[in-house]
Structure 1
């Protein structure tokens, strides 16, 4: 019989694979936008609908997955979501028109919405707050690696094998993750979770979510409204939406900036974008040391500053080396700031952590979709650099505000 530690390790690795594939799916279209605009004879801004559709569906469906995960089991929902992603990714690979491609991407985003936020909530159930930032950073390692893979592979596949091959590969990854999760669940792993008010956050499981009665729509609305009446919840969600618009909204257009501004191929632009993920991966690897040295306040302030500097370099640098450095600085800064907000999200309302964390993700990706729509209108008018500058100012101010607010809460 495998030990509990071994079983937990296998489960975390399997969740990590699902999170890897989810983030790869989210970012795989970024380096494809120019290719898609050429294939379907539309502008780059119009082609960016494939990014916005995924983000909108991903954000809105958090409102469904959060309470569902709280009621029937977070790991069960993650397994079902990964299975749905495998199906919809295969459908995306076969889309014959931009309209159907956008619809398929929306369905894919709707399914993927049940993976990373509920994985965060599951860690929140199992890990005490003092160690939670480090544990979330490990999950972030999988998501960042997935983003790196998606940003690179999207461009590589579009240039060498055709963009459809990227979605076929993602379908396989999701299928492997779903099979692993279902196998663990059939073996009885992950079914039990801490009951509200019990030893939550210590790994002690005393009740099963499956035993809870079905949640009504009215009870969910009442719970959500109760959460939104908490000032700390409103503040975190508002800041998160702005972060999503300024940081994630611009991210989708960095490859377009590299292609149009420096003449890079889709494959080369995707390779440069990997450095954004490398910056995030560096954060995840050294999170404990940086947290000890800077504290949460310092991480937020440093992260906002680095992200702003990176976006300004991407906007105005006349040299490719400056844009490359900007990609790395943006990634490192974003994850310093974002993981600090993410940790706050897991602590907003511990008694309804699944709902709270998925509200956090909902606002993040609704903010991203708004950012993408604004950037899409700007890129077709030649205003990409000014919009990157506004986003840089926004995230710089956010870093200061988050740092001050954490000081007030400490």
Structure 2
């Protein structure tokens, strides 16, 4: 091609071509359901902490360790799963992760005491942590262009549904029935998906020769650094929405319901993102998401009342659908020869950023949450400049 380059991101140009997308080797409904399952299990424990304190005879601080240990192994396992995905293949890793999730969930139900429960949940988190990155990697292998972005948005919709169902239903099921029912549902889902995978064959990524070293070159490493910053802002500071409401006297149930509107924001944002991506490149999607995130925390810095923080939660979810999904899409693109490794390291960096943000800002909560939200506004501007600028530069250097 010579002369003027056609306007638009090459992903969108590919999407507008008449060439059909190849059928994904994993059925799209199965990929989305697996995404739902991974986030359902990940977020199911927190709403049941009070139940655990009563039934297991432990303090709340001890019960919280069920979440801490699970998330720690969930995050630390990401790099290992990525390396295995590029070495052994996506399907072997997915089957191993589902088998571990199934066994871990059954063992959770049968745990003889709190210490055993703590260890089992942590190990289960290690296996569940492989599910979502595996789905992202398969999407990266199976789709190109705007079709890839739309499928990532669809996957995000189902992870948001998993988060929302766990947040709203896990506590109620634990009170009305038994907390074991919640993890029993994970076991049923993992077992069902294992059966459905029996006849599935996943080819290697379109003939791409795997070279794990590519995951540690300049651009992927830069993307991991962006993941740290974005995870800290989007996922870490999101943690303070519910406590900020409770500080002003709102009940835990109502504050939790407000916090759950984050999931509604992801679902609505994913619906919009799938329509915008056909007209705007990924750089523009990142800019829209970062701007939305800035507005979200600006509202929170001005007021910590119910209307403002409800809008903040919804807008953070919307930003997730634009910003986070675009960075995830970039992670599937930046090193195709080490796609599973790159995706897993990016996911891990976002988790670590989330943990670091809450750790660094936790000491500021005694004076309220306004200062935290104000500082986050500034950090969001930095993120916007770095993410938008670097993606535009990467796109040009790639040959756009």
- Report the equivalent of 1:327: 313
User: Of 371, 383, 391, which residue of structure 2 is paired with 1:406?
Assistant: 391
The 5-angstrom pairing of residues 352-367 of structure 1 reads 352-367=338-353
Q: In structure 2, what is the Cα distance between the partners aligned to 1:37 and 1:253?
A: 23
- Report the equivalent of 1:183: 195
Q: Does 1:233 align with 2:220?
A: yes
Q: In structure 1, what is the Cα distance between the partners aligned to 2:46 and 2:240?
A: 7
Change (3 A) 1:42 1:10: closer
Change (3 A) 1:392 1:29: farther
User: Of 15, 35, 43, which residue of structure 2 is paired with 1:19?
Assistant: 35
Change (3 A) 1:305 1:49: farther
Query: What is the TM-score of this pair, normalised by structure 2?
Result: 0.81
Query: What is the TM-score of this pair, normalised by structure 1?
Result: 0.79
- Report the equivalent of 1:192: 203
Contact (CA 8 Å) 1:55, 1:109: kept in 2 or not? Answer: yes
Contact (CA 8 Å) 1:315, 1:386: kept in 2 or not? Answer: yes
Q: In structure 2, what is the Cα distance between the partners aligned to 1:373 and 1:243?
A: 15
Gaps of 5+ in 2: 1-20, 396-400
Q: Which stretch shows the higher mean deviation, 385-394 or 104-113?
A: 385-394
Contact (CA 8 Å) 2:25, 2:142: kept in 1 or not? Answer: no
- Report the equivalent of 1:173: 186
Q: In structure 2, what is the Cα distance between the partners aligned to 1:83 and 1:295?
A: 38
- Report the equivalent of 1:41: 59
- Report the equivalent of 1:202: none
Contact (CA 8 Å) 2:244, 2:304: kept in 1 or not? Answer: no
Q: CA deviation at 1:332?
A: 0.4
Indicate the SS of the match to 2:281: helix
Q: Does 1:69 align with 2:85?
A: yes
Change (3 A) 1:80 1:377: farther
The superposition leaves residues 361-381 of structure 1 with CA deviations (integer Å, 9 ceiling, x where unpaired) of 1212222222343355555x4
Indicate the SS of the match to 1:193: coil
Q: CA deviation at 1:149?
A: 1.4
Contact (CA 8 Å) 1:250, 1:372: kept in 2 or not? Answer: yes
The 5-angstrom pairing of residues 218-297 of structure 1 reads 226-228=214-216, 230-266=217-253, 268-297=254-283
Query: What's the C-alpha RMSD, in Å, of the aligned pairs?
Result: 3.2
User: Of 282, 301, 307, which residue of structure 1 is paired with 2:287?
Assistant: 301
Indicate the SS of the match to 1:263: coil
Contact (CA 8 Å) 1:244, 1:368: kept in 2 or not? Answer: yes
Q: In structure 2, what is the Cα distance between the partners aligned to 1:30 and 1:394?
A: 28
The superposition leaves residues 341-388 of structure 1 with CA deviations (integer Å, 9 ceiling, x where unpaired) of 101100111111111111111212222222343355555x45544334
- Report the equivalent of 1:220: none
Q: In structure 2, what is the Cα distance between the partners aligned to 1:232 and 1:59?
A: 21
Q: Does 1:393 align with 2:381?
A: no
- Report the equivalent of 2:176: 161
Q: CA deviation at 1:50?
A: 3.9
Change (3 A) 1:33 1:186: closer
Q: What is the aligned length?
A: 373
Contact (CA 8 Å) 1:149, 1:274: kept in 2 or not? Answer: no
Q: CA deviation at 1:261?
A: 3.0
Q: In structure 1, what is the Cα distance between the partners aligned to 2:114 and 2:370?
A: 27
Q: Does 1:86 align with 2:123?
A: no
